[in-house]
Amino acid sequence: MLKSKKTDSSISRDTTQIKKRQKTEMAQNGSNNTVKLIGTWSSPFALRARIALHLKSVEYEYIEEADVLKSKSDLLLKSNPIHKKVPVLIHGDDSICESLNIVQYVDEAWPSKLSILPSNPKERASARFWAHFVDGKGFESIDAVAGAKDDAGRMAAAGNLMESLAALEEAFQKSSKGGEFFGGENIGYVDIACGAIVGPLSVIEAFSGVKFLSQDATPGLVQWAERFRAHEAVKPYMPTVAEFVEFAKQKFNVQ
């Protein structure tokens, strides 16, 4: 029986194909490209991305948008031409925009024992629901309180905010299963999503004198917020209440 011999050209093609497969696998694992994150220190949405990258032990270059209130860098405009806002994750030649989208991407691109999103389909769907609830009703309620023109409007907006927080309190009691976070014993997707409202809430409380998170109405969220702020994946990146308040004064020209 005659055995076919591979020519130099066929060997070269095989080697090329192997290298291509290896590059593809490396890209899927998020290990062959440089990683950059465009953000600003005061952004609760950029905070989400930094927490996710920290949890997954991803090395990256952080690029601060120095004066995001007045101007935007060419890199930001090029990387996020649709919304023109932070955060933007740059992975190789690709740009990933929107904070919750970035968190999911990081979780999938850098697989590890620690998963940010639940593996159970029902729990995963529930986590996404509450994350979108935060970005919908949660932030809408906060913005409504901050933008109220009179006492009547402020009271109505505050009532809606309390309802949203009560819903999150109930979600925490169910999803935490006796643990310290929405994700149980570890920070998960809903924790990262909800963590974005901690800073804005503290600003609203500082200006209004009203405690929206209280031991009477939201005892679980009060304890959760304290643990969240102190977590090693959060504390290095989250501004203090005083820093949040000072930024808000500059943003809204309040003395």
- Domains 35-109 and 121-252 equal at CATH topology level: no
What pTM, to 2 d.p., does this model score? 0.86
**CA neighbor of 189 nearest in space, from 119, 103, 122, 121:** 103
CA distances from 149 to 38, 145, 154, 155, 158 (A): 34, 9, 7, 11, 13
Domain ranges of the chain: 35-109, 121-252
CATH 3.40.30.10 describes domain 35-109: yes
Closest among 88, 101, 166, 95 to 132, alpha carbons compared? 101
96: left (phi over 0), alpha (psi -120 to 50) or beta: beta
Q: What is the identity of the amino acid at 93?
A: D
* Alpha helical stretches, state H, 92-214: 99-109, 121-133, 139-147, 151-175, 189-195, 198-208
Distance CA 48, CA 187 (A): 12
What is the CATH T-level fold of the domain 121-252, as seen in this structure? Glutathione S-transferase Yfyf (Class Pi); Chain A, domain 2 (1.20.1050)
Distances (CA, A) of 22 to 26, 30, 31, 93: 6, 12, 11, 18
Q: Which pair of tokens denotes residue 137?
A: 């009703």
- What lies within 8 Å, CB to CB, of 78 at 6+ separation is none
> What is the DSSP code (8-state) at residue 179?
S
User: How far apart, in whole angstroms, are the C-alpha atoms of residue 240 and residue 249?
Assistant: 14
Tens place of pLDDT for every residue, the chain, 255 residues? 444 444 444 444 444 444 444 443 444 444 558 999 999 999 999 999 999 999 999 999 999 998 777 889 999 999 999 999 999 999 999 999 999 999 999 999 999 999 999 999 999 999 999 999 999 999 999 999 999 999 999 999 999 999 999 999 999 999 998 999 998 999 999 999 999 999 999 999 999 899 999 999 999 999 999 999 999 999 999 999 999 999 888 887 776
* Nearest alpha-carbon partner for 89 in 67, 56, 114: 56
